[in-house]
Amino acid sequence: MLPPRLPALPPLPVRARDLALLLVLLIVCILALPIGIKALWPDASFAALATVVGLIVTQSLIMLALTWLVVLRPYRLRFADIGLRPAYRAWYRLAVAVGLLCMPVVSLVNLATQGLLGGAVDNPQLRALAPEGFSWTSLFLMLLLVGVLVPFIEEVIFRGLVFGWLRRHLRFVYAAPISAGFFAVLHGIPDLMPALAVMGLVLAAMVERSGSLWPAIIVHGVFNSLMTITYYTALAIGTGA
């Protein structure tokens, strides 16, 4: 038996063109920011921890600001109106379990993708997690960023707004795959799109069944944190740290 669901939220008054504008601005932000950094600081290296941390933090804050300026503020919406409200406590325990389970599921999807492609799956996100190799400082910073900050912002955008808007117009069986597709494509990593789409479906299901974004944020955060810890463990073993 699943924990109870919160009462349904009122339908979002957001228009499709507002979401389209937001998604375009997010893509521009993701693509233009690294170019801007190199233009302002030609000596900046994306193999340096400080540069990578600064890029992730800046992109995340800009994405959150754009979400507020383009969608939330014009419609006088609070974050609670798009699902950022407390869920029943049992959902939080279930979310941790689901986040842990997602690791082997995503690994299997990546293996299947690798078989279809006939080569190893290229995951540039892993390289960005440890630009200078293993260090405890790097691990701590990345756990804060990819385990806390990034899941919060991505769930607000992709599950709170995109899935929330689609759910207003479509049944879950259609809204979830479409929002998962946006989630996968906007990451811009072709080899990872199948795995990201599966994660998008799981996260949409958590929001649908709980009525809150928090369980999805926890699933996302637990998965990202476990992936980061696993990668750093491999680095530590390889370097003898």
- What whole-number percentage of the chain has pLDDT above 90? 68
Q: What is the pLDDT of residue 117?
A: 77
d(CA 4, CA 6): 7
Q: What is the 3-state secondary structure (H, E, C) of 148-208?
A: HHHHHHHHHHHHHHHHHHHHHHCCHHHHHHHHHHHHHHCCCCHHHHHHHHHHHHHHHHHHH
Query: Mean pLDDT for the chain?
Result: 91
Q: How far apart are the first and last CA of the chain?
A: 44
Q: What is the pLDDT of residue 241?
A: 56
pLDDT band at 33 (very low <50, low <70, confident <90, very high): confident
Q: What is the pLDDT of residue 48?
A: 86
- Across residues 41-54, what is the average pLDDT? 83
In tens, the pLDDT along 118-159 reads 777 677 777 788 888 889 999 999 999 999 999 999 999 999
Q: What is the pLDDT of residue 40?
A: 79
Of the two residues 201 and 32, the one the predictor is more confident about is 201
| Contact partners, residue 222, CB within 8 Å, separation at least 6 | 95, 96, 98, 99, 100, 102, 147
User: Among positive and negative, which fits the CA dihedral 67, 159, 150, 184?
Assistant: negative
Q: What is the pLDDT of residue 87?
A: 96
In tens, the pLDDT along 102-129 reads 999 999 998 898 888 777 767 777 778 8
Q: What is the pLDDT of residue 35?
A: 85
Of the two residues 224 and 40, the one the predictor is more confident about is 224
Q: What is the pLDDT of residue 20?
A: 93
Q: What is the pLDDT of residue 159?
A: 97
Q: What is the pLDDT of residue 187?
A: 86
Q: What is the pLDDT of residue 239?
A: 63
pLDDT of 45 above 90: no
d(CA 221, CA 227): 10
d(CA 172, CA 187): 23
